[in-house]
A and B are shown apart, each in its own frame.
Chain A
Amino acid sequence: MAHVWSPLKVHAMLHLDMDKAKISVSHGAGGRMMQELIKEIASIIENKKTRDGRGIDVLEDAGIANINGTKIAFTTDSYTVDPIFFPGGSIGKLAVCGTINDLAVMGAKPLALTLALVLEEGFPMAELKKIVMDINKEVKKANVAIISGDTKVMEKGKIDKIIINTAGIGIVRYDVSDYYARPGDKVMVSGSIGDHGMALLARRFKFETKLKSDCSSIASMALSLLKTGGIRVMKDPTRGGLAACLNEIAEKSKVDMVVYEDKVPIKEEVRSVGEVLGIDPMHTACEGRCVIIAKEEKAEEILNMAKRFDRNASIIGDVVKGSGKVFIETKIGSKRYLESPIGELYPRIC
């Protein structure tokens, strides 16, 4: 019955023949297909890490380089979100927060970013200015600096409006890793899930709602919680949502997880949009949340501290012995797999 998602097995399932296959939108959707594409690309690069560091051999939210005894976290992300302005933010805000969050969940204090813009010919200056002002606002809030940048323009139609890439560095203060979850640990989320993805879907499919993206920096919360010393894993559930995030941790740590459906915090409007469109909030992106795997004895303390930042912070499950599967205990008391989404999510009639 159970299938174990070992990279080798899934590779075989995907038949990812790099010479013949074509990239599809599903490869960017944050689910299984994106995972496997990343692994394929990483398998071609031979120098995967620096000496005493961690890199694309382990594929975490940031790489870590060891420079004369100091650990530096280094990460990059490209932002292609559409629409570029959405309830709660913009591509600019996302580009800063997303990269800062990737550093924070690796236990690093974000220090500096680079900013690369690729613009479509004809893109309105006023919109660009607004985006850069959003970037400035977030950078100031997070107390980081943009210390290098680049700008390119492409002919109209060759790209869609704007693509932003940010790279970030920070000094690692705490040792956390996707590979550190252990049986007995508690699974926690820092706030309600699915807000970002559903806010964008709500807008696209013409719902009237106050629901906004949760796009924000989690760095100061993360660093406060890491001080407790009880955190083993931190990860931000972006594309692919909570489900993809938990599955990735479970696989890497070679553990199973049990999540309790009635304990997962989901806003009423997120649930409603999800039900109407037939899209699962657990598969939907968050952009201002983190998943925390904490030692059992420290979990309550961490939860109380997390609640000071967001009252929806919750303990949602347990880590148990296993081989990389995530289960959900449903509201009727039965159990089933909580699988990673496969590709992009669309509204359904069935």
Chain B
Amino acid sequence: MCLAFPGRVVKIYKKKEKALIDFGNVKRDVNITLLPKVRVGDLVMVHAGFAIERVEENELM
């Protein structure tokens, strides 16, 4: 129930409800209402079209 994949925030749209996320040569609009403090350049985990949390890059394996 946890299928999610990380992507980088490329652009945050005006209303701050959606952002363009780069998953690795593919981009998609993603809902960011669960992460209102997100910024361009952040790496976020995306589940069912929603960013659920920021990824701490210094904890990457």
Q: Do A and B make up one complex?
A: yes
- Size band of the interface chain B makes with A: 10 to 19
Asked if B3 contacts A207 (CB within 8 A), the reply is: no
A283 nearest CB across to chain B (Å): 16
Asked if B26 contacts A208 (CB within 8 A), the reply is: yes
Once A275-B5, A276-B5, A278-B3 are accepted as A-B contacts, the answer to whether A349 and B27 lie under 8 Å apart by CB is: no
Q: For residue B24, which residue of chain A has the nearest CB?
A: A272
CB 8 Å contact bits of B1-17 with A (1 = contact, 0 = none): 11101010000000000
Asked if B1 contacts A211 (CB within 8 A), the reply is: no
Asked if B3 contacts A202 (CB within 8 A), the reply is: no
Q: For residue B48, which residue of chain A has the nearest CB?
A: A349
* Chain A residues in 8 Å Cβ range of B46: 276
Does B39 lie at the interface of the complex (its beta carbon under 8 Å from any beta carbon of A)? no
B30 nearest CB across to chain A (Å): 10
Name the residue among A208, A209, A269, A276 with the largest chain B CB count within 10 angstroms.
A276
**Could you tell me the distance between the alpha carbons of A208 and B20 in the complex, rounded to whole angstroms?**
9
A88 nearest CB across to chain B (Å): 15
CB 8 Å contact bits of A310-340 with B (1 = contact, 0 = none): 0000000000000000000000000000000
Q: Give the residues from 251 to 310 in chain A that come closer than 8 angstroms, CB to CB, to chain B.
A: 267-269, 271-273, 275-276, 278
Q: For residue A273, which residue of chain B has the nearest CB?
A: B26
Q: For residue B23, which residue of chain A has the nearest CB?
A: A272
Asked if B47 contacts A269 (CB within 8 A), the reply is: no
CB 8 Å contact bits of A100-113 with B (1 = contact, 0 = none): 00000000000000
**Could you tell me the distance between the alpha carbons of A170 and B18 in the complex, rounded to whole angstroms?**
53
